[in-house]
Structure 1
Amino acid sequence: MTSVQKTKTISVTVDRGPGEVYEFIANPEHLPQWAPGFCRSVRRAEEEWIAETPDGPMTIHFVPGNEFGVLDHYVSPAPGQLILNPMRVIPNGPGCEVLFTVFQQPGMSDEQFTTDIRLVENDLQTLKGVLERLL
């Protein structure tokens, strides 16, 4: 039986409509623009996306498009390993909140978990900047 993982949910307020933000994030081709801590480049390979990350290539799969702002995605750093990254866009007046939950993976030290949290915080700040300039 596995134990409950430690988590941290990070959010950023974006001064853009939730629909615009959702559509931008849902396109994997945009990952290198807003998630440079995770993804240096991304390419389509048949039915999946391959992200070039600091830890090597990883497949990435977003959940199907939906009207609820759910942008959960799975990354696979190695065959047979699948990591869920819960992500949401929530309306906030004319803007929105983008939420991302980081899980402390089995075997990950507290220091590595803290580093992952900082990387996601930085990526969400980059996302905010990109969206508020572009859209």
Structure 2
Amino acid sequence: MSNDPAIRSRHVSQVIECPPEQVYDFAANPDNLPKWAAGLAQSHVERDGDTLVVDSPMGRVTVRFAARNDLGVLDHDVTLPSGATTNNPVRVLAHPNGSEILFTVRQIDLSDEEFDRDTATVAEDLERLRALLEP
């Protein structure tokens, strides 16, 4: 864990016009990751107990999601091919228009350009999720 106070965070969100439970259930299903989370999973998701193994733009990575819950918490740890693990806080919140999914992107060991690219990738993934779920 880094103690670098210069690490920046950006919160990327997307309003989705459907109930939070529907967004959570779809996003929490590992089989759906390649459909919307291209920044994480580009193909079939393999399961090894509670750990997911996926081919990502970063190479073959493992992913562990928080246990299913009623709070909309979709936090997940991604372990990169280098062995480094990144925690990704994600929340599905109630919103007057249905729900809002909020993803925190952190600038850990990334240049400003890489941080901008990662933030844009997350925004694209959340937009893809919206397009899949809205009527």
TM-score by length of 1: 0.91
Matched residue, 1:76: 79
Of 5-14 and 44-53, more deviation after overlay is shown by: 44-53
Unaligned runs of at least 5 residues, structure 1: none
Is the CA contact (8 Å cut-off) linking 2:72 and 2:92 kept in structure 1? yes
TM-score by length of 2: 0.91
> 1:90 offset after TM fit, Å?
0.4
2:24, 2:49 → 1: CA distance? 24
2:73, 2:111 → 1: CA distance? 29
The Cα offsets for residues 16-64 of structure 1, whole Å up to 9 and x where unpaired, read as: 1001111111111111001123311221134421111122110000001
Matched residue, 2:46: 43
1:35, 1:123 → 2: CA distance? 5
Is the CA contact (8 Å cut-off) linking 1:29 and 1:43 kept in structure 2? no
Is the CA contact (8 Å cut-off) linking 1:11 and 1:98 kept in structure 2? yes
The question of 1:88 aligning with 2:91 is answered: yes
The Cα offsets for residues 75-122 of structure 1, whole Å up to 9 and x where unpaired, read as: 00036421001000000136100000000112x100000000000011
Aligned length: 132
Identical amino acids, percent of aligned pairs: 38
**3-state SS in 1 of match to 2:62:** strand
1:44, 1:13 → 2: CA distance? 30
Matched residue, 2:11: 9
Unaligned runs of at least 5 residues, structure 2: none
Of 28-37 and 112-121, more deviation after overlay is shown by: 28-37
1:33, 1:19 → 2: CA distance? 18
